[in-house]
Amino acid sequence: MAKTNKAKQDKAPKQGSKKSLKKSKTGAVAALERPSDEVGLDFPRGWVEFADPADDEQVFRCDLTWLTSRWTCIFGQGCQGIEAGRADDGCCTLGAHFSDEDDEKRVAENAARLTPEVWQFHDVGTRTGWVQTDDDGERQTRRYEGSCIFQNRPGFAGGAGCSLHILALREGREPLETKPDVCWQLPIRRTYDWVDRPDDTRVLVVSIGEYDRRGWGPGGHDLHWWCTSATSAHGAGKPVYESYRPELTELMGEAAYATLVELCEARLASLLPLAPHPADPTPTPAPAPAPATGTPSTGTTAG
């Protein structure tokens, strides 16, 4: 498993890389045809900053609006997919770019563990490869028949969805141990900024927030549908900071995650949380208390 207890600046996505999508010439048309259950991108958010308990040169900046939201992955249960007409792909249509050599090596080690019972395209992948390079020469998982080669299609006996994800569950491991970095991190976005303070100190500010359409780059606005802002994907029993405990712990480290939990719990404990996620279900108001029976006492009685 890749260790990221201390965030590293070199993990930051490079601007202009193929990890971000280019703007489509048909973007205006795509926007008009976009499903209607998405809320807008710009709404009030509640952020919190705290020093990393494990590193005094690092500060975490976390979006509590997102991390306490009720988002959940609805792949195969209402997910409309990032490409029109390919809902069964979910967000796997484009394949996954590797973040670095270690990422690809880890995926390769787990791909070697896949069997024909778990991976629908095992024969194709083992014979002709499961890696391709894009137009800029960057390496990614191969696209096969319109989607990532590791994605099992509906009807496959071993189960639909990512074969690397299925492998992890079968072996009692976390999917972050088997899948490419970009896949297990979605829809959490981690970014980095060096900040020079007035006292001549310098800290690395690590932001943990929502991977919304903008996170994909200019082409993110052209996606057919994106789940983080869709009301249909906000209805989970657990908030994101709980359901994504393994992923957030890997991204932040155990000590920082523990601090995050305390802050999220304090936010949810308030009767009226500030800046809730607009895609979350609207809380049902508590019923008004029943009127008291009998005649109220005045503190005195007639004698």
The per-residue pLDDT string of the chain (303 residues; one tens digit each, 9 = 90 and over) reads 333 444 444 444 443 333 567 655 444 444 545 567 999 999 999 999 999 999 999 999 999 999 999 999 999 999 999 999 999 999 999 999 999 999 999 999 999 999 999 999 999 999 999 999 999 999 999 999 999 999 999 999 999 999 999 999 999 999 999 999 999 999 999 999 999 999 999 999 999 999 999 999 999 999 999 999 999 999 999 999 999 999 999 999 999 999 999 999 999 998 666 788 988 887 655 455 555 555 444 343 333
Report the pLDDT value the prediction gives residue 296, as an integer from 0 to 100. 43
Report the pLDDT value the prediction gives residue 5, as an integer from 0 to 100. 44
pTM for this model (two decimals): 0.83
Token duo for residue 272: 């009226």
Cβ burial, residue 20 (10 Å; 0-12/13-18/19+): middle
CA distance 53 to 66: 22
Report the pLDDT value the prediction gives residue 12, as an integer from 0 to 100. 40
Report the pLDDT value the prediction gives residue 34, as an integer from 0 to 100. 58
